[in-house]
Amino acid sequence: MPELPEIANRSRELNARLTGKQIRGIEVSQPKSLNLSVEDFTAALQGARIEEVGYHGKWIQARTDRGWLLINMGMGGELLVLDRSRLPEKRRVVIELDDASFICINFWWFGYVHYAPADGLGRHPMVGKLGPNALEVGPAELHQMLNGQRGSLKAFLLDQSKIAGIGNAYIHDILFLARLHPLRKIDSLCHEEVDRLAQAIQDGLCPSLEKGGGFYEVDIDGQKGGFTAAEIIVGYREGQPCPVCGTSIQKIKTGSTASFICPQCQV
């Protein structure tokens, strides 16, 4: 569940399901995903009571009375809440709660399950550097954030320390909606283009946010998200016609990642 629409939904689901529950035990089958030794991690959160679950960018943040449980799903995976009898084979970290339910975390490649002390979010090496949540950035703030920035637009939008929650899946449609090319230099943007971008960030993320996230990820009960492939505008549609002008959508290399663009609409 890599990007903001998925993370926001997972965090809301977890908040509704887990608030008030106490951590009874922790099973770690992939110690490298932790920021502490298994012993220290377990000692830190054993017995902790979950008070609230929120998110910042791609990080799920569960506040407990003993500090923070921080989860980053990396490039995808499942974050499930289920009974012992339904625990899947593939799992990296499992957290047992006092009502006999289990939080089962499996990311398919890299991901993080971290601990931070109650007052330590700001000192966490990744969470502490995050910029504002993408959905909370309005036009005025975006103007201010882009002021004086150099480099490409895509690099900025993917930089979690600048703006948090956008990844390389939703960015295709965000840039298409803004009618801006991913490699456009930030200092060449005019006022109106920045306004368009601010609106495009909302319009690119909200449909999926409102439908429970993308179809390629599942909720905490294992149900697929309601945002379907048909609703993606240009992302992953190489060779298909642009819905606005009919030009064939191109897949181009942008640094180490690919981008899907309409070469006619996006300048």
Question: What's the Cα-to-Cα distance from 17 to each of 13, 63, 74, 96, 187, rounded to whole Å?
Answer: 6, 14, 23, 13, 45
User: According to the binding rule CB under 7 A, does residue 257 interact with DNA?
Assistant: yes
Is position 75 an interface residue for DNA (rule: CB under 7 A)? yes
Length of the chain: 267
With tokens 């009874």, the residue in question is: 24
When the beta carbons of 17 and 215 are compared against DNA, the nearer one is 215
Sign of CA dihedral 200, 205, 207, 210: negative
DSSP 249: P
Binding residue for DNA (CB under 7 A) from 90, 138, 244, 247?
90
CB of 178 to DNA, least distance (A): 18
Let me know: does 83 contact 100? Beta carbons within 8 Å: yes
Identified binder of DNA from the candidate list 216, 226, 263, 264, rule CB under 7 A: 216
Rounded least distance, CB 46 to DNA, Å? 22
* 109 touches DNA by CB under 7 A: yes
Point out which span in 78-86, 115-123, 155-163, 224-232 binds DNA (CB under 7 A): 155-163
**Residues 6 or more apart from 75 whose CB is under 8 A from it?**
2, 107, 108, 109, 110, 111
Binding footprint of DNA on the chain (CB under 7 A): 1-3, 30, 32-33, 57-59, 72, 74-76, 90, 107-112, 125-126, 129, 149-152, 155, 158, 160-161, 167-169, 185, 214, 216-217, 255-258
